[in-house]
Structure 1
Amino acid sequence: MTRPNIPPADDNLTLPRVPGWMARCTAEAIEDAAFQSGAAVAWLDLTARSPQVPQALWRARLALSAAEVCAGFSGRRETAAQLRDAQHLLRPGDHPGPAGEVFQQWSVAVARPISVMALRQALPAVSAEQIALCLDAIGRNPVDRATAVLEAVLTDAPRAETAALILADAAFATSLGWDHLLPVMALSLRSRDLRMRGDDLRRICHRAVGAAAGQALPMAADLARRASRLLAVAPKLRAKGAERAVGLFLSRDAVAPSALTSFMSDRAARRLCDRLVDLGAVRELTGRDTFRLYGV
């Protein structure tokens, strides 16, 4: 794996900040909510095209946030740490559980460029024809297009919240010309929101985009700084396969040392992860002494 082409470390690295009024959108009129969401979409589009941001890592981290929200729709309260464990500590043949399955769906959805085939891998219960219809949905703007998909899917299958939100975010992304799905609609919508229809749902979705930008953009700025730091210390790494390892850290929410053993020994993988922690380039995410996970 080649590492992403991210500019070198810069202590003054800055990305656009979301104005407070945008993230706290409470507009009652659809026109006002649409105006504010339009500003949020512009910020998101700029950041989604920024070479300073480790895009794959950003998508993966947002997928974790979206999975937390979606798991809550069925009354589950798994934390990010529990969802990571459900994915990374799974043994062959084991089922990840309902919440872990939701996280897998989001992880698969963001990992590959948007296509009917890729979305079918994330949502095997959804037909290729339905996915194609969602990607071809019509809307006056990206949010209205995503809202139309959300409403159509939930009208047919009211309990398919995760599939509806993944497809809505896919429609949102394609309307902006993005190659990959970026979790947006799922970040701040709640169960009661998804029961709305028509103009009420449109207004809620426009508000939700501003709130999502308030979460996603600070995360992107933080990851850009952290990724820049990792690339700055990379030349100090002497382990064979270190560059491939850096590429993994820059594209995945979390990395277990075992994920590196296809190109280095188990001992070398653990030493490399600990070395990166000592250099302040990655963090240990679990707080455990064993079965540890690391991430930027």
Structure 2
Amino acid sequence: MLSPACPPPPALSWSMTPPSPTAVLPLHLPAWATRCLPDRGGADHPTPAGPAQLGAALAVLDAAVTAAAPHAGAWANRLALAAAAAAIARSGRPEDEAALRDLVALSPAPPAGPAAPVLGAHLWLADGPPGPRWGELPALIAGLGARSGGVPDELAQTLATAAALPCPLVAVSAALQPVLAVRPGRDALAVWAADLVLARWLGWPYGLPLIGLGLPPQGRVDLSALEGATLAAVILRGSARALDRFALLGHRAAALQAVRPRLRARAAGRVVDRLLARDAVSVAGVRDLIPERAARRLFDRLVALGAVRELTGRPTARLYGL
């Protein structure tokens, strides 16, 4: 656990800084902070981490979040999709990240189906600061499997109380364990609630699923054992993965921004902005900005220039993104 001398949480500020047109400098964790993560992609838990390592991870990640990078929207949405896919896989369902991407990018309405509540809750977290939207939590909690009586409202209040605690690990534990006590087996709800509380504690303008990303992607996890140094290691692993993705998408975003002046299609700039703001975009998804035929030509050119990628490998219903 962190020392009782932990400082109080930072003052919460919900105003969004306009994205900077300049490239964001690469951000990475110091080598000593990731010494307990011999394999970020492995299925085993990392060894326990200390408060210094966790503090370094959250400080670097805070710099990435508050930089208002041009690709922040695409980054947050892609992390949400990855964490939702991992949560669904741990529950034994077959939907992977590609299937969830289709649900989001090709559906004219909010996603539907068995995976929709988990997916929707993660996208909600990435969509903005949780504090001003706290009244929406009971409906999200109910969708994640806690529907009976006044449980959704009670859990929403429990999470608000947890977010006000003085240290991040204490706050996350105070969110995770009560959810498990009230709804055993609702792991997706418990992990999402913990990430929600951490995002609010940090005062970020949008949430990142650090715990969801830091857990093993397959198999059941004993969440009741996630406390202290073990919980810190999970957050550290999730932070490292998030920063890796931030750097990768930052390079791709810089390439996309570099070709912007060469695009002559009407509304091409607004299409670029949408690509930077979302995980994936379809031709139909920019119909409000540009005619479909022109959109196809524009996307083909962007792919040929190496500025965006086609994400599906399909000849139809194609999706484009960083």
- CA offsets, 1:214-255, max 9 Å, x none? 211111011111112211111211222222211111111111
Q: Contact between 2:194 and 2:211, CA under 8 Å: does it hold in 1?
A: yes
Q: Contact between 1:62 and 1:183, CA under 8 Å: does it hold in 2?
A: yes
Residue matched to 2:128: 112
Residue matched to 2:158: 133
| C-alpha separation in 2, matches of 1:244 and 1:42 | 32
| C-alpha separation in 1, matches of 2:108 and 2:63 | 40
1:196 aligns with 2:224: yes
Q: Contact between 2:180 and 2:224, CA under 8 Å: does it hold in 1?
A: no
Q: Contact between 2:89 and 2:96, CA under 8 Å: does it hold in 1?
A: no
Alpha-carbon distance change, 240 to 132 in structure 1, aligned in 2, over 3 angstroms = farther
Q: Contact between 2:126 and 2:207, CA under 8 Å: does it hold in 1?
A: yes
| Partner of residue 14 from structure 1, selected from 7, 17, 26 | 26
Residue matched to 2:15: none
| C-alpha separation in 2, matches of 1:142 and 1:195 | 17
| C-alpha separation in 2, matches of 1:58 and 1:133 | 29
- CA offsets, 1:168-205, max 9 Å, x none? 112111211212111111112256444424xx533331
| Partner of residue 276 from structure 2, selected from 227, 230, 250 | 250
Residue matched to 2:42: none
Counterpart amino acid of 1:131?
A: A
Residue matched to 1:66: 83
For 1:1-296, what aligned pairs fall within 5 Å after superposition?
Answer: 5-8=19-22, 13-19=25-31, 20-24=34-38, 25-27=46-48, 33-52=50-69, 54-90=71-107, 96-114=112-130, 115-120=133-138, 122-125=140-143, 127-137=152-162, 138-190=164-216, 192-197=220-225, 200-296=226-322
- Distance apart, 1:45 and its partner CA: 1.4
| C-alpha separation in 2, matches of 1:281 and 1:120 | 41
Alpha-carbon distance change, 211 to 5 in structure 1, aligned in 2, over 3 angstroms = same
Secondary structure of 1:248 counterpart: helix
- CA offsets, 1:15-68, max 9 Å, x none? 2245231534513xxxx5333222222221122122446222111011011011
Which structure 1 residue ranges, 5 or more long, are not aligned?
A: none
Q: Contact between 1:194 and 1:201, CA under 8 Å: does it hold in 2?
A: no
Counterpart amino acid of 1:196?
A: S
| C-alpha separation in 1, matches of 2:141 and 2:261 | 40
After TM superposition, the runs of 4+ consecutive aligned structure 1 residues lying more than 6 A away are none
Alpha-carbon distance change, 139 to 110 in structure 1, aligned in 2, over 3 angstroms = same
| C-alpha separation in 1, matches of 2:136 and 2:269 | 28
Counterpart amino acid of 1:88?
A: A
- Identical amino acids, percent of aligned pairs: 36
Say which structure is richer in helix.
1
Alpha-carbon distance change, 181 to 35 in structure 1, aligned in 2, over 3 angstroms = same
Alpha-carbon distance change, 14 to 205 in structure 1, aligned in 2, over 3 angstroms = same
| C-alpha separation in 1, matches of 2:200 and 2:114 | 28
Q: Contact between 1:131 and 1:167, CA under 8 Å: does it hold in 2?
A: no
- Distance apart, 1:120 and its partner CA: 4.8
| C-alpha separation in 2, matches of 1:62 and 1:178 | 15
| C-alpha separation in 2, matches of 1:7 and 1:74 | 41
| C-alpha separation in 1, matches of 2:237 and 2:211 | 9
Counterpart amino acid of 2:303?
A: V
CA RMSD of aligned residues (A): 2.5
Alpha-carbon distance change, 81 to 34 in structure 1, aligned in 2, over 3 angstroms = same
Alpha-carbon distance change, 123 to 264 in structure 1, aligned in 2, over 3 angstroms = farther
